């Protein structure tokens, strides 16, 4: 049987602390008719039969949360480099400025990986009440750091406001580029 694009097996794997990345992962899985799993619930066996892996993690100090673990898992699954296809998306509270996205790419991928692994940034939000105790401590320290600054950027002021009432910028329309790339 000749394999068509429709036979491609795709899995969406994600890590999410407060639910924003989980929402994007669900939208992408539904759009592609793909399987959906949390990174912390899977091992190498769970990914080895897929042609395409889409990994999504929230941004933590510019790093895509769980990405290193995902890369190690792919290596342990004994998969040849470049196969299966890996695509990555990061979900952060910051507005999607080109310079921010370029910074995230450089912090998470080598130049060779940047050629090979398509990366997408989606805007999530911030909900302090949904963080686990560990991340609540980290983000409280971060809040104090911003609050102490004599002059604050508009993004920093927006961040401080989000501690008082949760901010949600998620938008299902923004996944279109990733969905098209997987299909192509
Ligand atoms: C410890 C920590 C560090 C963060 N660092 C960043 C960051 O560097 N850039 C950013 O845009 N958002 C940052 N955020 C905000 C989260 O990425 C954002 O709230 C995201 O939508 C959370 O997604 P999740 O609920 O799937 O974990 C950080 C949040 C935490 C808890």
Structural domain range at position 156: 128-165
CA distance 149 to 153: 10
Looking at residues 142-170, what average pLDDT do you find? 93
- Please state the domain count of the chain: 2
pLDDT in tens, 84-114: 899 999 999 999 999 999 999 999 999 999 9
Looking at the structure, tell me whether residues 33 and 15 fall in a common domain: yes
Q: What are phi and psi of 175, to 5 degrees?
A: -80, -10
For residue 55, tell me if it sits in a domain: yes
pLDDT in tens, 152-164: 999 899 899 999 9
The CATH number of the domain holding residue 92 is 3.40.50.360
Closest protein CA for atom 16 of ligand 1? 92
pLDDT in tens, 9-61: 999 999 999 999 999 999 999 999 999 999 999 999 999 889 999 999 999 99
The response to whether residue 126 sits with its C-beta less than 6 Å from ligand 1 reads yes
The response to whether residue 90 sits with its C-beta less than 6 Å from ligand 1 reads no
Looking at the structure, tell me whether residues 39 and 83 fall in a common domain: yes
Looking at the structure, tell me whether residues 132 and 76 fall in a common domain: no
Looking at the structure, tell me whether residues 112 and 81 fall in a common domain: yes
Looking at the structure, tell me whether residues 73 and 161 fall in a common domain: no
For residue 81, tell me if it sits in a domain: yes
For residue 2, tell me if it sits in a domain: no
pTM of the predicted protein model: 0.93
Atom index in ligand 1 nearest the CA of residue 94 equals 11
């Amino acid at each position: 049987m000749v394999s068509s694009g429709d036979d491609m097996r795709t899995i969406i794997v994600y890590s999410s602390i407060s639910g924003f990345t989980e929402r994007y992962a669900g939208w992408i899985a539904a759009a592609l008719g793909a399987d959906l799993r949390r990174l912390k619930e899977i091992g190498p066996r769970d990914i080895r039969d897929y042609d395409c892996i889409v990994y999504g993690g929230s941004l933590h100090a510019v790093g895509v949360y769980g990405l290193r673990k995902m890369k190690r898992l792919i290596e342990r699954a004994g998969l040849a480099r470049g196969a299966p296809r890996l695509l990555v998306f990061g979900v952060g509270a910051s507005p999607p400025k080109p310079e921010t996205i370029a910074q995230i790419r450089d912090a998470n991928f080598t130049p060779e990986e940047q050629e090979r692994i398509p990366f997408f940034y989606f805007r999530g939000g911030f909900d302090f009440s949904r963080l686990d105790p560990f991340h609540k401590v980290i983000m409280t320290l971060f809040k104090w750091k911003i609050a102490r600054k004599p002059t604050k950027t508009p993004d920093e002021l927006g961040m401080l406001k989000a501690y008082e009432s949760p901010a949600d910028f998620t938008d299902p329309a923004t996944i279109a580029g990733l969905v098209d790339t997987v299909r192509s």
